[in-house]
Structure 1
Amino acid sequence: MEYIIQVDENDREIAPIEKLAAHRKGLLHRAFSILIFNAQKQLLLQKRHQAKYHSGGLWTNSCCSHPRDGEPIRAAAKRRLREELGIVCELTPAFEFTYRAELDNGLIENEYDHVFIGRYNGPVYPNKDEIEAIRWASLEEVRADIQQHPDDYTYWFRYLMEHYAEEIRQKVD
């Protein structure tokens, strides 16, 4: 059983909670999203494995997950980036946001999301248990594709691109 961290609207810890229970009940919990950019300012996207417990087969940001109980958020982000993509790089905190989404399988995402930006130009080694495919694309290409094919992307990534693309661009430039 995997435990994540239930939080209040100010990201103050309430209690550890079993991950699936948090998503079934729609409880606000701590999460992170990582955006990895290369030297050409292209964003690394991943297509989530079809077998994921939600949002399988959809394109999303470079890496996203939850810290474990007692695990610092940046340490968790670095751990998952290495586990999912074989990438080790510095991660800079960019901003935080909250969102709530009812997913297609009856689960509810309700996250206090810490966004990190990293820069990386080396090889990528996707974990085949987590990821079906990867690709690099400019923010403009991503936003255009989301407009044309919104159902191909996770809710949180669409939300991120709709509300924070300019802020992300400024931090990458």
Structure 2
Amino acid sequence: MGDSTEAVVLLGEDGTPIGSERKDTVHGPETPLHLAFSCYGFDAEGRFLATRRSHAKRAFPGVWTNTCCGHPGPGEFMESAVARRLRSELGVGARALVCALPTFRYRAESNGVVENEICPVYLCRIEGDLAPDAAEVGEISWVDWPEYVARATRADSDVSPWSRLQVEQLQRWDLVERFLAD
């Protein structure tokens, strides 16, 4: 399903689903609260896959961020949505997929487009050969996690606002380090 017909789950302030709407009509200057996810993928050596959003994206074009983001469709299990998006954006599978931050929420604005999401954060091991979709991903970079943390926490960071907030919370509880140690 392409962006023009992809549906997102709308949420009430308490996080309960209240309906759905087409993704292309939801994201704008008055974006309602909706359900999303972020995923941080790691290889066998423990390196993190950072991605740079395509310059063709409406919101946050060309910004470095986590491995992938997306929205579960109405009735879709979150883990299935994460796996679907990893496959469609990067051509890879996920192993050991775990939800690290189940209640993460943020709001950010770029080019008149507001992101307003309850966005659980997942960690996984990436399987397969990368085949990025140029419409979604402009560039990829395998980096050591401490290097990405330093980049995301700099005052002049070029990392997406949601990833900066997520990194802060992931670090607070050593969630990535514990994930990689398993």
Q: TM-score higher than 0.5 here?
A: yes
- Give the partner amino acid of 2:112: G
- How far the C-alpha of 1:50 sits from its partner, in A, is 0.2
1:167 deviates by: 2.4
Instruction: Tell me if structure 2 keeps the 8 A contact 1:6–1:15.
Output: yes
Alpha-carbon separation, structure 2, partners of 1:9 and 1:171: 31
Unaligned runs of 5+ in 2: none
TM-score (norm 1): 0.90
Among 36, 41, 44, the alignment partner of 2:46 is: 41
Higher helix share: 1
Q: Give the alignment partner of residue 107 of structure 2, picking from 85, 90, 100.
A: 100
The root-mean-square deviation of aligned C-alpha atoms, in Å, is: 1.7
Counterpart Cα distance in 2 of 1:121 and 1:81: 10
TM-score normalized with structure 2 length:
0.86
Deviation at 1:42, TM superposition (A): 1.3
Match of 1:111 in 2: 117
CA contact (8 A) 2:60 2:160 kept: yes
1:19 and 2:5 equivalent?
A: no
Shift of 1:87: 0.6
User: Which string of whole-angstrom CA distances, capped at 9 and with x for unpartnered residues, describes residues 53-89 of structure 1?
Assistant: 1111011100101112222211111111001111112
Q: Which residue of 1 aligns with 2:9?
A: 5
Instruction: Select the residue among 150, 159, 169 that pairs with 1:163.
Output: 169
Aligned residues, how many? 171
Change (3 A) 1:138 1:10: farther
- Equivalent position SS for 1:89: strand
Given that residues 7 and 23 in structure 2 are in contact (C-alpha distance below 8 angstroms), is that contact kept between their aligned partners in structure 1?
yes
Q: Given the alignment of the two structures, is residue 153 of structure 1 paired with residue 159 of structure 2, yes or no?
A: yes
Name the % identity. Answer: 34
